[in-house]
Structures are given as structure tokens and as C-alpha cells.
Structure 1
């Protein structure tokens, strides 16, 4: 059989390059707006941080990154859309957080495989969680919180952004350690749960820092934070570690797309999103909400999700967690 000449070898090389990045070979990505699903109502810390990133990334991508809020189901509506409806073309992405990774292990029929049913793009940051109470209420400190719970079994209520969220499970763990009976009241989002405490609907909120403006405004009192060290913004609030719990809860999150995305498209998205994450404008938003940086590149973020899935599976089995 005659060997291929230079022209034939060039054609074969070009064909191979086209097969390596089919989506990019068909035209420049992106050539239309990208949809970013935020699975919370507007106004919370994640919504603000992701909106900032969307605006910044859109400028470098040359296309708008349009934020679409889809709240409910403990923040898993975006993941459901990715797993069941979205095309893997890079034009629909959504927040990936620990409740999404945990969900298959706490329901009877798993809705997705958290590792293999998504294309994980980038790890971003975490939340500053804490517990806040009404400023003019009877509870002034963590010691008061425990004392009230012991004196009033089943009467101390706490709000979170949903059932089986990271903060809900952390509160269940604390309650089990302290042998106290407290009542969980789930809301759709952290800003709603904070407002519920200020209005007197519930006695406390255990959630991300959407409560911060109400603490600074004097309506709420912060009695502890769940970060490794005290918050510079709220230096009087002790950490869980200071209170005797070997716990740090920041719940890192990132962005993912549907299963099967082209690696070239993922690379374009990662690079634009990384630049947006480290942009001073986004840094200011994260500082506003005391959100710790938890950056992972694409390979490292997929590895993080895989390791976390094993952890969540083991925890669900140990605690016999079920929500259906």
C-alpha cells in the first residue's frame, strides 16, 4: 500500500484536530448568551457572588452570561435541569453545592450520579455560616442558647435554607452532641430565614451570612460562626471550635454543566470564570458576605466532588439520613 504523501498527512492531521474539539471546530464558543442557573431566590450571598461573576465573565467571553433564579428543593433545581434537560453545549451551567452531591444518598430513588452525570468546571468559594437570634430576645450568647433549649425542650426553633442542607445537618449534629430537642424550620433561602428571625416567626437562624445586614443593623445578634477563625467583620462571635466543637463548616461550591461537555468548551468557561472569580469586583462581593475562597481548577474540582460524594455517602449511611 503506498504511503500517504505530505498533502494527505496534512489532511489527516487537520481531521484529527477537528475531532479533538468538535464544538470549537464548528465555530467560536460562545456565539450566543450563556445561561447560569442560580438555585436560590435573588438577594442571597451565592446569588450576589454568582451574579458578579456572570457580569465579569460575560465581558471576556463576548456574550452575556444571563442569571436565572430557580429556587426550591433545597437548592437542587439547577442540578435537576442539568441532569434531565440541558444540552451539553456549554450554554447552560449551574451552581454545584454539597446538597446536590449529598441528595442521591438520602432519597429512595437517586436523581443523579453527582460525579458522572455532570461536567464539573470550576470550584469557587464557600459560605460563612453562623447562628443568629433576635437582638432583643432572651438569648444573648451560645451558653444562653443551650440553656434555653434544655429548659424548653421542643420550643427552640431554628431556620435554614432547606432540609438536608449542610447547615441543617450541622445543627442536627450539634443537637445530638448536646442532647437537646430543637425544631428545624426550613425556608427557601438564607435571606428568607434571616428575615423570619427578625420578624419573630422563628427564634434563630443557622445559615450563611445573609443575616449579616440584619446583625449590623441591630435586628439580629450573632452568637457563633462556623469558620476556622473568627470573622474580621464580626470579631465578637466565637467559632464552633472555640465553643468546644471540632467543626468547621464552609460548604464549598462551584459551577458545573451537563454530562458530556466538550473539553475545549470547558476550558474556555473555566478560564473566563477563574478570571472573574479573582477580579477585584468579585473579591469585594465575597468580602461583603465573608465568603472564603475555595478555588479548584477543572480536574481538581472533579476530584473534590468525587471525594465529597464518598464522604456524603458514608455520612448518610452512618446517620441513616432519609428525606423521602
Structure 2
């Protein structure tokens, strides 16, 4: 199954009801989030926790364990009991990006874990400051070609999703862009508004409020099709065929977790993701629910690894 098929939210929110599964958690469950409280990942985990608990009959707690680009949480889950009671919330760094950009990681990204379910995808948008001369993707490319290396883009740091999105944009467009890494999205956006960098390609959730206030101007969306969060924006792919990028979050478990536990958890969370209330809360964050089977998730992760390996290798992106 290809990535686009898996990540088309409307097409995969179908799985057997949780009641069809025999396994039930004997004690409270835990979702470990490898990021600090308050961000999108933490919020998504808390949105699904209570309704999942209602289906499975045990509380589902959210524990934040930041550090080491996700490695602290990954090690804790990989070395913990494989009983279905602890799940790891994954952004792309843990299984997809860290192994491609870091020489040594203290866990086996694939062998230590088994897929559970895809949770959400969050489109990115390409934005510039209101007085910037480019008003379209075509304008950005033309401007960059007229002054190679003269256009800059901000990101939340080396190896961040915004960094890689900008690198993919430059690679497909055949242009040079100067990458300016920051310690998080917010300071990069501040410098963008202050005229110290030219653009940023980051999540709609972070940027759309500023666009709607008139403090930034949006040019395009990162997904191959128009995004629900900003249906008026054209996809970058209309100018750069093959460009398709969205922040992709999902759940995994220790590799020895019983299949019947994975099946029951997957069915329960599919049911939660299909609920209108969940979709509304996701969309308020600029995200779209995904769902599907563990096998579909495994295929999507492998597709992401293959795609980003080409970009990271070509751009020689590494994290020490």
C-alpha cells in the first residue's frame, strides 16, 4: 500500500469494532509522549486517551518523557514490559529520521518496536512576510534562481521536519536555499516577520493563526491535495510534482507485545478516530485523523524512510 493511500484519512478509518477483540487491559494503560507537555503531540495523545479508555475499560494515562530527540522515551518503552499497557507516541524522528541522520542511536528503530496505528497527519504551509515580493511557488523558484543561495528559510532546527521540507522543496525545484536553524518554530517565525529570513515551511497549526491576522502571507500547502485546514491554498505539487509532505504521528509498542493486544488497541483507537468529536478536535489543531491497520502503518513508515533517505543523503544532513 502506498503512502498516499494510507494517509488519505477518509479512506482508512475503518476497522473492526473493539468489542470483537478478546483482549482487555488488566491494568491502566500509558501513552508515552517523547515531547514536553503543551505541544500538538501531547494534545493529540490526551484527545484520544479518555475515549480509548472508555472502550477498553481501563484508564489511559499520558506520560511526557522528553529528551534525546525522542531517544529517552524510545528506550523506556523498548526496554519495558511488552504487555500492551505502554505505547510510544511517535513523530517521524524516532523511527524514520534519527536512524538516517544520527551515527549512533541507543535503540533499534525497527527491531525494538511493532506498529499499532497511524494517528494523524498535519499539513505544512509555505509562508512569507506580507511585503515579500514572491506571491506564489513559481515566484519563489524564479527569485531563487535569479540569486542562488540568496533566499533563506527558517526551521525548528537541523533535522526538523521544517528543515527537511525546505530541503525537499529546494531539491525538486533545482534551486539553492540558505537554511537558518532555530531552537524551535517560534523564534524562526519571529525572525521571518522581522525580515531576517525569507520564508518557512511548517505546520498549518503553527502558522495559520498568523496568516489570518495578516502578519504572514501563505503561498501554498505541502500535501498533494488541498488541505482541510486551508482549502484555498494550492498544493506545492502543482508546481513541483512529487512534493507531498505532512507531519505524520502514530503509535508503536514493544516488539514482543501480544498480537491480540495490538489488535484490540488498534480497533479501539480506530473507533475513536472515526468519532466526529475527535475529528473536530484534530482539525482545530490543523491535523487530520488517519487510522488503519498495523500493516498499513508499517508500509507508510517504510515509505517515509525510503523517501527521506534520498533527501538526507543528497543534502548531507546529519545530527551530531
**What TM-score results when the alignment is normalised by the length of structure 2?**
0.76
Which stretch has the larger CA shift, 295-304 or 65-74? 65-74
Compare relative contact order (CA 8 Å, sep 6+) and give the higher one, 1 or 2. Answer: 2
Q: Which residue of 84, 93, 97 corresponds with 2:91?
A: 97
User: 1:198 Cα shift?
Assistant: 4.7
2: CA distance between counterparts of 1:228 and 1:44?
Answer: 25
- In the TM superposition, 1:28-107 aligns within 5 A as 29-32=25-28, 34-71=29-66, 73-74=68-69, 77-83=72-78, 85-100=79-94, 101-107=96-102
Q: Which among 139, 142, 145 is matched to residue 137 of structure 2? A: 142
Larger Rg belongs to: 1
Distance 2:207 2:38 in 1: 11
1:14 match:
none
- Give secondary structure in 2 for the equivalent of 1:57: helix
How far apart are residue 58 of structure 1 and its match? 2.2
Deviation at 1:36, TM superposition (A): 1.6
Q: Structure 1's 314 and 57: CA in aligned 2 closer, same or farther, altered over 3 A? A: same
Output aligned runs, 1:182-193, within 5 Å: 182-188=178-184, 190=185
> Counterpart of 1:13?
none
Cα displacement (A) at 1:118: 0.7
- d(CA) in 2 for partners of 1:312 and 1:244? 17
Deviation at 1:225, TM superposition (A): 0.6
Conservation of the 8 A alpha-carbon contact between 1:37 and 1:92: yes
Deviation at 1:122, TM superposition (A): 0.9
Q: Deviations over 1:56-76 (max 9, x none)?
A: 212223333222334455555
* Alpha-carbon displacement from aligned partner over 1:195-243 (angstroms, at most 9, x marks no partner): 6645667543211222122222322221111112223543442211222
TM-score by length of structure 1 reads 0.75
**Which segments of 5 or more consecutive residues in structure 1 lack a partner in the other structure?**
1-23
Cα contact 1:212–1:289 (8 A) shared by 2: no
Match of 1:295 in 2: 291
> RMSD of the alignment, in Å?
3.2
**Structure 1: distance between partners of 2:303 and 2:136:** 36
CA distance in 2, matches of 1:318, 1:202: 24
SS in 1 for 2:107: coil
Report Cα offsets for 1:72-106 as digits up to 9, x if no partner: 555555334323x4332333212223322232232
Cα distance in 1 for partners of 2:196, 2:68 equals 21
Name the stretch that deviates more: 162-171 or 150-159. 150-159
- State the match for 1:164 in structure 2: 159
Q: What number of residue pairs does the alignment pair up?
A: 295
Asked whether the equivalents of residues 191 and 211 of structure 1 are also in contact (C-alpha less than 8 Å), the reply is no
